[in-house]
Chain A
Amino acid sequence: MSSNIAAEAAARSHAVLLVDSDPHTSALLVERMASRGHRAAVVPPTAEALRQRLRFERFDVVIFDFHHERPEELDACRLARSDSGGAPIVVLAAPGHATDVVEAFRERSGAVDEIVRKPLAGDGIFRLVSQLIARVRETRAGLYASLVSDGGRSWIDSGGKSPQLSEQAVLFTDIRRSTELVASVPLPEWFQAINRALSDQGIIVRESGGSIVKFTGDGLLAAFRGRGRSHLALRCGLALQELDRTSPYRDTLRVGIGIAEGLVMSGLIGETGRQQYDVIGATVHLAARLCSIANEGELVATPKLVRAAAVPQAAERPTRSVNLRGFPAPIECVSF
């Protein structure tokens, strides 16, 4: 068997957890699954046995064989739902009364994805299992994709080259007084508030032609490339400032913004096998430091970027000199 054929076969082979209290029917199911190249493990429908099995193993699908005279066993589906890592749950039930019992349980518990009528005929069960697994994998792929930043996606789309040096405008945002706030607001509420604020900021960054390199906990790092990058970055910063002034959460969440422009290196950073896209360089540090000195609702940028940006709001803006940690000499900056 060539390695390609072997890989395809492995991709079609599913790990199936059969929950069944009857050794005869479970043996039949194992036989059916094995006949199609699937790996099946059997566990009785008890909380202890299921927990034990699901503690260390992951399955693509859970198939529960329902016996109508033991309706209490259906509770095992609830445990499978909570402990199986999102695997779809299929219940096999005899038509009529047994199916009615399972339907009612599905309504009550939400712990059943599909009900398949017994006796099993043809390939229906295999097709269904494959469809359910494909649906779960699609959902997971979407979640994985959401973990990758704009910059990371661009990097992948460009063929994943080695680290690159380029001129970029770098913009940081950061929520002011976040240490104080996080100690006084319930964490779930804080989580929700941060996500709302970062979602709003993300929209503005993209509308301004930038890309989000990463979220930094209570802020973000965005980069602007190409001609007009300074203009786009400053316009983005001013729009973020407007958001800060007008957002419905302005009474609690206020941001500071820092922007600098210069040479940065972009690429993947991290350990072998698990890396994230990032940008590094003195420009990035400078933008971060400018952001850290910005007051609530303030935007601080370098004069070089402001001049290159040529936006009307920048005319006649005075420069000031500030001492920034890590920089040996005072740095000129412009505040908005």
Chain B
Amino acid sequence: MNAPVPTSVTTALRPDLAAITAMIRPGTRILDVGCGDGALLEHLVRTKHVDGRGIELSQQNVNACVARGLSVMQGDADTDLVEYPSGAFDAVILSNTIQATERPRTVLEHLLRIGRRTAVSLPNFGYWKVRASLVWNGRMPRTRNLDYSWFDTPNIHLCTLSDFLDLTRLCGAVVTEAHALDENGETRPMKAFAISNGKMGGPNLLAPGAIFLLKKS
């Protein structure tokens, strides 16, 4: 939320958007936090006839959303989610944004409060190439999707998938669905045991990113 997601990321995340779309039930109320230019939200409105709302920080993206006929609030997930009533939405989407928030735990707690289900997609800093990059180069990793120097990255709270699962437990959430993202952005469902032991052995090492569907336990 603290910086617009670059276009390259949005393009690369197409399959991630498709996987999120598959999680959304038709005709429901959806809040897309960090909705970017509104591509996903418009897609959901058109194909799933959802009653969609967005939150977005960048002026350019907000105007793009408004021009698509979407209802979007210009604002920041870190400060604005507190204003939304509990249970106001059937599902809340946080797509490739949690790593850019100032207080990820507070944001996630609000998402779980506002939406009956919460879809979160995020990059995985436990991915083997990221680990290898740090080991071999001795420098903070730069990935295709997060191509920033450490000193000017908007992604201030990077984590591994295992770290994220720890946070979901801290927030009293359970994972009801999980998909690993591969190098090409294709998704495949994670096996239940990979999630249940909290260590995420396979995906935490092998997946560049993941999508989780959460609900309050």
Q: Do A and B come from one complex?
A: no
